[in-house]
Structure 1
Amino acid sequence: MPRPHLPALPRPAILGPSRRAHWWRWVLRRGASALCAVAAVLMLLALVRPPAPPTTSALVAARDLPPGAVLTAADLRTARLPGGPDSPGTVGAVGEPRDLVGRRLVSAMQTGELVTTSRLVPRSAAEGLPADTVAAHVLHADERSLDLVCAGQRVTIFADTGGEALARDVLVLAIDTPENASLTGSLPGSGVLPRGLVLALSPEGLHRVFAGQRPDGGPPRILTVITR
């Protein structure tokens, strides 16, 4: 059975031998070349373009705040600051509102100013110390030199019987007042005790301080030297 004769489809104008078809092919070749050149330039720019500078999310003051203000969520807003977490401009930055709400400011802050831990009143003298730090009350052998020490200072401590330092760079958390010392000494059988102080000691430092006994069998007493 002979195949039915199908009419020839017209050639697209771009495939014909006419001058118009030659012109369209020339335009397409030029356009393709231009697109390839643009793509190459964009790829080159992507390769040589430096990466975007790092930024850090941190909390800043949403409004002017007076000294002593207790922070609320409305006082804070999140901002992207240039630099990584360890860059000088973001040291001490806080990223979560729950870490700031309820804290008190040491000094006034302006709108947009970075809220850092150094701008906050510490919760306690031991804030920021290692987790295994122990607060220990020790007796001081020289009450006159104790009057030169205040909470927040760093001291080196020695046994009053002499020898090498028991601990160095120790944070003073609190100091007995004369009134507290007199109350302690008035307890039955306590005798008259010297004033003491509360120190933030590592477990090793605590052992060195309390491992030794005085020659008379009493509790160990220390002497302090202020270091900073």
Structure 2
Amino acid sequence: MPETAVATPPAPPVPLGPRARRRRRLTRRWLSAGLVAAAGGAGVSVLAPPAPSLAPALVAVRDLPTGAVLTASDVQRAERDAGTLPAGLLGPGEAVGAVLASPVRRGEVLTDARTTAGPLLTGQPAGTVATTVDVGDPALLPSLAPGTRVDVLARTQDPVTGAATGADRVAADVVVLRVPTPTGGGLLGGPGAAATSVLVAVDAATAARLAAASGQTVLTVRS
């Protein structure tokens, strides 16, 4: 009769001694800590955004009003996130001499949308400056526009009685550069700014005479 194979049962596990069990527990703890650290590092690398790419831009050094003529001391170069920069950035050559078409806050990036079409005194003779002068009669404002030629008169009065005695011409054939907005916000853009002043181009001596006659001026439009 053939012999029948009998399966030998596996030997029971040999119990570990206290030292072996302690070593196995420590090994498992170290492996668990390593896995947690690896997972955390992977999460940080996924969640952390890449460093932004920086690009230069001109920004305002201080708050500037509407109608301000930009000078080199009004602007400075700053690094900004290239992905957030708007179109139409102004370079130093474009910014200096340009006229603000709206107020600008300190630190704001300067673009062509914040300025008038070009530098205020472009095409004017050397030594020309821009200054404000009161129209005198607000009804004259609708007939004024950039490029209008005007004479500026200063009312005279009796030094004793204060009665009006006439008017002297303090500027002749000067060109208007800017007029107030139709909404009544003056050249400087503030809510309390006078809406009856215009910006004109004159030489330095004429600007001094206009300043001395401040509050007494009247404009007449030349034909």
TM-score, normalised via structure 2 length: 0.34
TM-score, normalised via structure 1 length: 0.33
